[in-house]
Structure 1
Amino acid sequence: MSETEFLEAVKNNQGIIYKLVGLYATDGEERKDLYQEVLLQAWRSWSSFRGDAKFSTWLYRICLNTILTQKRKVNRIDYLDSLEPVAHLATDTTQHKKEEIDRLRNAIRTLPETDRALISMHLDGYENAEIADVLGITVNHVAVKLHRCKQQLANLLKQ
């Protein structure tokens, strides 16, 4: 597996990294640092990528593990009232849609770390079995947690 293949695969899936880093990082510098750390960890693990799962699923796991490890090192999580918009989410949307995306993103940021990962993967179209594999929980547990997350987000968005 070559460096070119790695770079191409990351380029095609960089939205995953941007989105997850944006959900867990509190400011621009922290986002940059986490992004760099995710790329470093993905590169270090590249030789172990067997292709059993989709590259995007593998990258999700690397990204989440890296982010959660880094967050534990800092041992604190700060929440901001707003986040800088992610470029690929903000293109070709009306102001109303941008505001709705920001509201949803802010609501997701209030969830516990694993719930953020779970809902993020769900919104990206991953099946419960893939989410279970990445998070290391049962498919049944994913369904239960997903239901609770949706209820919690619905309540937060009503406010």
Structure 2
Amino acid sequence: NLWQGLDSYRGDSRMSTWIYRVAFNTCVTYIRHNAKHGNGRVALDDVTDVQWEDSGRGEKLRHMYRLISCLDNMDKAIILMWLDEKSYEEISELTGLPRNTVATRLHRIKQKLTERNKDE
């Protein structure tokens, strides 16, 4: 559907928005068609190989997690909690470290990750 509809892309929105919309409409059409000819349901266990991220973003995430895996256990825990959007106060409570220590360590961890990224 994307390939067939490419000529109809007018450029009014970002290409990614248009692709999302075509994919959405394709799914709705498929579900409506199957609703007429069956129940149109698919078990979640039967859905495999679904890629929720574009490959570029996925590769960047894998690279970031490879860098994080090189950290010591405490630094790894702190940065992963921060990535999970825990506040400095929450990280402080969970680790037993003072809030200012958490802030300082996070700053240093980010510096380490940036340096390791440059080295690779």
Structure 1: segments with no counterpart, 5+ residues: 1-89
> Which position in structure 2 is the counterpart of 1:154?
114
Q: TM-score, normalised by structure 1?
A: 0.42
Q: Give the drift of 1:98.
A: 1.1
Between the two proteins, what is the percent identity of the paired residues?
31
* Runs of 4+ residues over 6 Å off in structure 1: none
d(CA) in 1 for partners of 2:51 and 2:81? Answer: 21
Structure 1 residue 100: deviation in Å? 0.4
Q: 116, 119, 122: which one pairs with 2:76? A: 116
Equivalent positions of 1:75-114 (< 5 A) are 91-114=51-74
Aligned residue pairs total: 70
Quickly say closer, same or farther: Cα 1:102–1:133, change in 2 above 3 A: same
- TM-score (norm: length of structure 2): 0.56
Over the aligned positions, Cα root-mean-square deviation in angstroms equals: 1.3
List per-residue Cα deviations over 1:25-67 (Å, max 9, x = no partner). Answer: xxxxxxxxxxxxxxxxxxxxxxxxxxxxxxxxxxxxxxxxxxx
Aligned equivalents of 1:135, 1:109: Cα separation in 2: 19
Matches within 5 A, 1:7-156: 91-156=51-116
Q: Deviations over 1:134-155 (max 9, x none)?
A: 0011000000000000000111
Question: Higher relative contact order at CA 8 Å, sep ≥6: structure 1 or structure 2?
Answer: 1
Residue identity opposite 1:92 in structure 2: W
Cα distance in 1, alignment partners of residues 113 and 103 from structure 2: 15
